[in-house]
């Protein structure tokens, strides 16, 4: 079976355009369609998950709020944030939905470790977090998010990882539905400020992880 993986670096793309492209790709794919990883950035936008609650959007101002069919609550995308969409045939790769979430979280954690940043996942709230001293006190902050959609056994949407962006818009929402959740980013933690550099490092980690799943497939739901 063809397990070719195509990686695309798309630059800055409007969220609505990429959302439409992901859905059309997933609806049109066949069992022979190669999987793809899309790396990109978005102009400023708040995206609301399928079960998102309006009360978590506090004061969007001039930033548009776009509804989507991914899981999770509201989040923010903007320049300086790396977004990666895994367009994967989960049945073919033998990955369950929970397994894919863990794979994406672990890939972000491994990428951050390259920069000397110790990050961790939480079982109660998908994503990647750090515990550091901020403004003189120890605090837990989030820098990576995961939100997925699976249709006919194939995934789209994906992850976002804060690199070097304006974090202020996160204060206009309850990020991922958590009031008071603070955000941070790689450049504030001693890592690179170049989204392209982080994208290439994350690509290396993800491709290796996906090859491992091919060698030792998990049980899909």
- pLDDT > 50? residue 183: yes
> How many CB atoms sit inside 10 A of residue 7's CB?
15
Question: Is residue 221, in this structure, part of any structural domain at all?
Answer: no
Q: What is residue 49's predicted lDDT score, i.e. its pLDDT?
A: 86
Q: How far apart are CA 176 and CA 112, in angstroms?
A: 21
- pLDDT > 80? residue 107: yes
CATH number of the domain where residue 100 is located: 3.30.930.10
**In contact, 160 and 144? CB cutoff 8 Å:** yes
pLDDT band at 28 (very low <50, low <70, confident <90, very high): very high
Q: What is residue 180's predicted lDDT score, i.e. its pLDDT?
A: 84
The mean pLDDT of 174-195, rounded to a whole number, is 93
What sign does the dihedral 126-128-132-137 (CA atoms) show?
A: negative
Residue-wise pLDDT for 40-80, tens only, equals 999 999 999 888 788 999 999 999 999 999 988 899 999 99
Query: Looking at the 3D structure of the chain, how many domains does it have?
Result: 1
- pLDDT > 70? residue 82: yes
Catalytic residue list: 176
Residue-wise pLDDT for 126-152, tens only, equals 999 999 877 778 889 999 999 999 999
Question: Is residue 109, in this structure, part of any structural domain at all?
Answer: yes
Q: What is residue 219's predicted lDDT score, i.e. its pLDDT?
A: 43
- pLDDT > 50? residue 5: yes
Q: How far apart are CA 85 and CA 167, in angstroms?
A: 21
pTM score, whole prediction: 0.92
Q: What is residue 3's predicted lDDT score, i.e. its pLDDT?
A: 59
What sign does the dihedral 164-169-174-176 (CA atoms) show?
A: negative
Question: Is residue 195, in this structure, part of any structural domain at all?
Answer: yes
Q: How far apart are CA 95 and CA 88, in angstroms?
A: 9
- The pair of three-digit structure tokens given for residue 220, joined into one six-digit string: 């899909």
- pLDDT > 50? residue 117: yes
- Structural domain boundaries, residue 72: 5-214
Q: CA of 123: how far to CAs of 76, 100, 103, 204, in Å?
A: 22, 14, 13, 25
Residue-wise pLDDT for 161-172, tens only, equals 999 999 999 999
Mean pLDDT over the full length of the chain: 92
Question: Is residue 220, in this structure, part of any structural domain at all?
Answer: no
Q: What is residue 144's predicted lDDT score, i.e. its pLDDT?
A: 97
Question: Is residue 219, in this structure, part of any structural domain at all?
Answer: no
- 109 in the Ramachandran plot: left (φ > 0), alpha (ψ -120 to 50) or beta? alpha
**In contact, 175 and 136? CB cutoff 8 Å:** no
């Amino acid at each position: 079976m063809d397990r070719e993986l195509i990686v695309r670096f798309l630059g800055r793309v409007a969220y609505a355009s990429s959302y439409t492209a992901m859905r059309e790709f997933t609806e049109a794919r066949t069992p022979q369609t190669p999987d793809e990883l899309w790396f990109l950035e978005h102009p400023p936008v708040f995206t609301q998950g399928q079960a998102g609650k309006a009360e978590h959007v506090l004061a969007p101002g001039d930033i548009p709020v776009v509804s989507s069919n991914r899981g999770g609550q509201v989040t923010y995308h903007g320049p300086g944030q790396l977004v990666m969409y895994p367009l994967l045939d989960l049945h073919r790769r033998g990955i369950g939905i929970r397994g894919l979430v863990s794979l994406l979280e672990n890939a972000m954690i491994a990428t951050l470790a390259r920069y000397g940043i110790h990050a961790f996942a939480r079982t109660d709230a998908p994503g990647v977090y750090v515990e550091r001293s901020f403004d003189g006190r120890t605090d837990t902050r989030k820098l990576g998010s995961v939100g997925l959609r699976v249709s006919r056994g194939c995934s789209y949407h994906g992850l976002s990882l804060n690199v070097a962006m304006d974090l202020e818009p996160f204060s206009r929402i309850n990020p991922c539905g958590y009031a008071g959740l603070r955000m941070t980013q790689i450049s504030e933690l001693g890592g690179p400020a170049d989204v392209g550099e982080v994208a290439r490092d994350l690509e290396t980690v993800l491709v290796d992880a996906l090859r491992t799943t091919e060698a030792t497939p998990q049980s899909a739901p």
